[in-house]
Amino acid sequence: MKIVYAATEEQMDKIAELVRHMFTEVFPDYFTDEEIIAFQRDRVLALSDDLTEQIGTLKAGYQMIASLQTIISILETEEHKRDEHYAGLFEFNKFTLEQFGLHFPFSFSHFQKKHTDTFSMFKKAANRLLV
């Protein structure tokens, strides 16, 4: 008999938070708003309605969190400091996400050059203005 522990609510919240971070902090640095809208339409990094079933076990939850954090860390590193080691890590973690049903149709080459526009409707606001 094998005992398997289910993913926790905190893991599910963390995964959702990391996916939001990709859309609000990472993608706007590399893609236009129109492209990001297309990613949402194509269900890139879309979590299923039943996240517990998608994640499954405690181990799977940790693997998804670690993969998302690693990809975010790589993409937030300055481009000129990235080498082939980063490309290998990126591809490994992309594969891990896809094993758990997260659609991530990018290669490392999609993130070689940052987008020059500094304004995006997806970027998190630096502050809030009450009107």
Per-residue pLDDT of the chain (131 residues; tens, 9 = 90+): 766 677 778 888 899 999 999 999 999 989 988 999 999 999 998 887 766 666 777 888 899 999 999 999 999 988 777 888 899 999 999 999 999 888 999 999 888 887 766 666 666 665 666 55
Inside any domain, residue 105: yes
- Domain range for 76 is 9-111
**What is the pTM assigned to this prediction?**
0.83
| Per-residue DSSP letter, 9 | H
Inside any domain, residue 84: yes
Looking at residue 58, its amino acid is L
* Domain count for the chain: 1
Inside any domain, residue 127: no
Inside any domain, residue 35: yes
24-57: string of b/e by CB count within 10 Å (b at 16+)? eebbbbbbebeebeebeeeebbebeeebeebbbe
Residue the block writes with tokens 């996240």 = 51
Inside any domain, residue 55: yes
Inside any domain, residue 118: no
